[in-house]
Chains A and B, each alone.
Chain A
Amino acid sequence: MSSGPPIRRRPTGPVRPGQQPQVNVIGRSIRRFDGKGKVTGETPFGGDLAGPEAYTALVIRSPHPHCEIEDVELAAARAIPGVVAIFTGDDIGGTNRHGLIRRDQEVFSRRARFMGDCLGLIVAATPKIAQRALEAVKVSYKELPIVATMDDALAEGSYPLHETGNVLSTELIRRGDADSALAESDVVVNTETRTQCVDHAFLDREAGMAYMEDGVVTIYASGQWIHEERRLVALALGLPQERVRIIQPATGGAFGGREDISIQIYLGLAALKLDHPVRIEYTREESMIARHKRHPIRIEYTLGATREGVLTAAKVRILSDEGAYASTGPAVLRKAVSHCTGPYRVPNIHADGVAVFTNNNPTGAMRGFGACQLAIAYESAIVELSRVLKIDVVELKRINLLDDGEGVTTDQKIPVVGVRDCMEAALRRIGWDKRSYETPAPHLRRGYGVSTICFGVGYGDGFPDASRARVRMADDGVVEVFTGGVDFGQGLHSLAAQIAAKELGVDPLAVRVVASDTHRTPESGSSSATRQTVFTGNAVRLAASEVAGQLLDVAAAYTGLHWDDLELRGNAIAAKHDIAGHEDRTVVLPLRQAVRLGRERGYALDVESCFKPRTVAKQKGTGKSPRAFITYMFASHVAEVLVDIETGEVKVARIVAAHDVGKAINPQQVEGQIEGGVVQGLGMALMEEVVSEGGFMKNASFTDYIIPTIVDTPTIEALVIERDDPEGPYGARGVGEPGLIGTPPAILGAIADAIGTQVHETPANAERVWKAIKRSERAGDGASA
């Protein structure tokens, strides 16, 4: 095995003003310009924006998970002094509908399909009055049969949640002949994996404000794709898009949980109807009840191999709980199916996926987007195969991991497959060959797990996927970047500044970023799908390099030198190398002067660029695609755990996470994303679970919905591997989601290593681990639970 490309060490410190900033701007941990305000608490978030004059809006939600609304009695609530208005479906001018893929969700529902459905909107002078009015509302309704589980949804004669029935969508992959290949395989293993419903649990609850300005509904609310949100608000309210403006305030986390519409339409409607500022701030309980969740997915996995451990075929059946509405469900199901064999070479694949409606929370986007549930499934099958074949799991991976140029599940050939580099780096760091199984007490067992995963970047499958960015030189010589891409904490805006700074030879901290305002910034698609580094990164780079080219032309005309002998460096245009008459790479023109000259000569120095790479729709009947995604991320995590075999408690001691990010434009941000993903993945692996019974959520609070604290967080070592992506900016490929995806399978593998049997249901909490141990004891061997 080659030693692979070098692991990046974090460069020392930020670029300070006065240094030559274009040197090493890329690959340097530039300080975040939004960092100080967030650390000191000065930065206002969505809940901090409205003044005391603003009205408070409060949503009337369904009293039951599935019911026809017969009447909403509002007279008593309206009579309360201070209640300004109560809106229902009669008051909305447009379609009264929203939904990212299907417009299947009513703003004001006449038939509620889950507890979060909205029946009306109270607007009052103060939050207290609004609450009192809410308590005075009486809803009469006819209960409908509750479809609580996926089995209920598929049962014959199940009550249809939508006109099209209870199946939202299906997906498949057909490659080779899986049935024959399995019949001829020396070994075949079967596993069934069940993943849970997970909440995004971001700290910054849904909160914002809206007001009317020059006839434009102006909404401050945190989403993930402001231009799509503007489209949805305009459609629902029946307004032209020009009359809707969405501005994103500072945002505390999203993780996919802000992809669906939340408060934007309510705010817009109230401001429009009342011509007065209005605020909304969800409580934590409301935030959990109203928002979509991660899909619980059940995966039946059959994996075949030769005696030597070479994979022959996979047969995969995927069943996904879509909850009450489509949300991004069809795309999540496609991502699950199209990632069902992960980073492994599997010549024969037969996969089927079905997404079904239930009366649970709609499920939609969340970090990992179907790929993380399937990673748990395929890694579980690999662990099972390793046990049956008695081949070490790492050796089994070495036999079967993809190499450069080979095809993933969809048969898309991937030019750069960094997964082996990631795994070997992670194994070296953890000291795999010398790992110790010693424990401080006989009831404790130590275990190690290795995951290897992949993730397609961007929307893919031929869906139009574009980012636009505008870069202009202001008259004062300051570089301005305009992006509609939202930054919910991941650092996109600092990244955009860093790229513009690199292209224009200025200090990244001096770049002015104008962002996330539908009236001022170009559409940059969503901050999701691990896409913004590649998409907005490339758009900024294209725009900035074109402005740079114009500036070089200006300087060339001014100096008489060839533009190709010049470069932008240190707020100036300078000789690229020693030129006669310009020895020692002298500065020929300060930037500000170049801007003035350029303007005089008619240069706009203002460029909008678009990055819109082509992907190819899936082939009918096979689900294959030569280019389902523009690029793939690869990663490998190694987890070390201690399991108490008497109680089932698991303590994660250490996680090493190696990611091929192509190029770490800002290494500290990359490491931060990986570490955050690891902690979120640990929560999914061990503790997080939305518990619902018959459509009623049982744990809609942070007292009962348990996410990891710092005390639960292990030592995390993020290893950044850099194998250039052919198309990413400076070779970068993205980083957002794989940090989560790689974590649950590594931890579950480590638990299996420790206790000799697998836990097939997440979260692997103490009770489930204990039950797996008991089952295995009863079975009398280390057989899989």
Chain B
Amino acid sequence: MRDFSLSDMKKGEHMIIEKLETEGRLRRRLLDMGFVPGTRAECVLISPFGDPKAYLVRGAVIALRRKDAATVLGVREE
């Protein structure tokens, strides 16, 4: 299941990041926050209007919009 992305996660779900298709400045930012292949991410919050969602990655909670989160691909952890 390659096409699963951060944005597909529901609250409380986990995934292992495999690939970043993010571009530009945000790509760099995500890398520096430790969004690298092999990293575990958990969806911990969803904003009242459904977007953005917030993800727990390496001990920090980072909010990303759906469009941006959709570029972080990986495998869902059951």
A binds B: no
Interface on B for A, CB 8 Å cutoff?
none
